[in-house]
Structure 1
């Protein structure tokens, strides 16, 4: 199917502030288990949300989700950034618990990996500061999603027919209660979670599997003048 486009006191430091930051050369040992790696993280703190609200960090988390582990040098090659800049952003993400060191290297050649396989946050937050940070982060993710759509629209004809036929964009209208909408949300998350282990373990991916962007959203609309 053809595509259808459907400043504060605790602000994070800029990359230029990291030039004198020491590089830790200690090797990392793999823990016996990493129970936090499979959990979904809910963001509720303004500092941790704002730490992620940066285009390079959003792109870096996405790259780590796809590649599994990356060194600063490898991330720089993927994102067209300098290794020093990527090293700074990786350390910032690690400071706020988004990534962690993985075994297999030291210094700038140490690999990093995501801690959480899923992030969630709401625009309705307990304080104006947290709400503003969440809206800022949401805008970064919107830009990322729009960029993915634009890339698909520019390249869809290069994909085999089976992929062109399987891809879809859906928009519809129905009438639901709040409880029914919440149930749909849970069902969609459950459906996608069936394949979540493939993100963390490439061996679980079928040989013909391809990275697929899945976006879904639903919200109430204002009633018409006639009350419908």
Structure 2
């Protein structure tokens, strides 16, 4: 699996900006190869719908058939650990597609936070005190913000692979310039 697949044209950005497609890729990245039937059961969706969207993801290089798949059981896998895109295009169609994709992504972040809040009372105290929300107002130039974001990415990199005794945790990083 590659580290990253980069989307740059409006069509691929719009194709990825579908909530179910983003959930499917997240599922394949988090849990490994699975069939459309398995994905549908995990996501509470239908097999034909998941199958269609997996084929669409494959069309744009985000998913592929897993090695060793036979005609009876046909698992899918993500092609890369991450999906990235640039937010600096001068093309209005690309900007609109990027804005749409970022909006879907933000909606998924909010859903994750709400799910965490709903499940939080059932978490062991060690996890309730370790998780949570915070924010910081920093004063930086655009170059410093890029550097800070890179340093955060570098800091998180060693924790990207599951290890014995660990649990997956979503760290959501938003860098939002303030008025």
Short-chain TM bin: over 0.9
Superposition map of 1:21-170 within 5 A: 37-107=1-71, 109-170=73-134
Q: How many residues align?
A: 179
The alignment yields a C-alpha RMSD, in angstroms, of: 1.5
Seen in structure 2, the aligned counterparts of structure 1 residues 192 and 152 have a Cα distance that, compared at 3 Å, is same
CA contact (8 A) 2:3 2:81 kept: yes
**Aligned-pair distance for 1:108?**
6.2
* Structure 1, 108-117 or 137-146: larger mean CA deviation: 108-117
CA distance in 2, matches of 1:219, 1:70: 36
CA distance in 2, matches of 1:105, 1:42: 26
Structure with max Cα Rg: 1
Seen in structure 2, the aligned counterparts of structure 1 residues 107 and 57 have a Cα distance that, compared at 3 Å, is farther
Higher helix proportion, which one? Answer: 2
**Aligned-pair distance for 1:187?**
0.6
Match of 1:215 in 2: 172
CA distance in 2, matches of 1:122, 1:195: 24
Structure 2's unaligned 5+ residue stretches are: none
1:69 match: secondary structure:
coil
The answer to whether the aligner puts 1:205 opposite 2:146 as a matched pair is no
Seen in structure 2, the aligned counterparts of structure 1 residues 81 and 107 have a Cα distance that, compared at 3 Å, is farther
Deviation per CA, 1:179-209: give whole Å up to 9, x if none: 222211001111122122x2xxxxx522x31
**Aligned-pair distance for 1:53?**
1.3
Given the two structures, how large is their TM-score scaled by the length of structure 1?
A: 0.74
2:42 match: secondary structure:
helix
